[in-house]
Amino acid sequence: MLVFAVVVCLFALSAGQPSQNCLSCICRIEGCQGQIGKCRMDVGSLSCGPFQIKKVYWIDCGRPGGDYQSCTKQMGCSITCVNAYMRRYGTRCTRGRRPTCQDYARIHNGGPFGCRSSSTLGYWRKVSRCCGGRCGSELTDQLKYGPEDPQDNNAVDQILEYYGSKA
């Protein structure tokens, strides 16, 4: 039984986090660079920062940075929060299967079980278009310097820097 518990824990840890490419596209869909330092009302509650994180999401990701708005208005703390949220809910939503970018995007948009909700399919289509079909791969030149909003390239660079500092 102990061996089974260890295997389950290791599998859950292997779920990891979204690829750089996937995370960058989620950021772009949420407004990314244009939302750093900002909060806005969205569907009856406040959403803050480059990933438009709500307070309940921030609580679920472990309350990094000590304060909701201070954390979520910054790129680095927001990335930490998103990755922690995905580690927490990724395999829960997929019932143990290793999550894909589609799963991560839909969880980000629809909460812990968003990967199972048809209401998140439109959001996934936006993320998929951004990725150009390469949502699970490393960041591509098309994503970084493609037809999307050029002001977001700075935010993409910040995401790359964050991942580089974790290597």
What residues are annotated to the active site? Answer: 30, 42
Assess contact for 140 and 27: CB atoms under 8 A: no
The Cα–Cα gap between 107 and 115 comes to: 5
In the chain, beta strands by DSSP E: 39-42, 45-48, 53-54
- Side chain identity at 84, as an amino acid letter? A
Taking the CB of residue 91, how many other CB atoms lie within 10 A of it? 21
Q: Is the dihedral of CA 59, 24, 154, 139 positive or negative?
A: positive
- Name residues whose C-beta falls within 8 Å of residue 31's C-beta, 6 or more positions apart in sequence: 50, 52
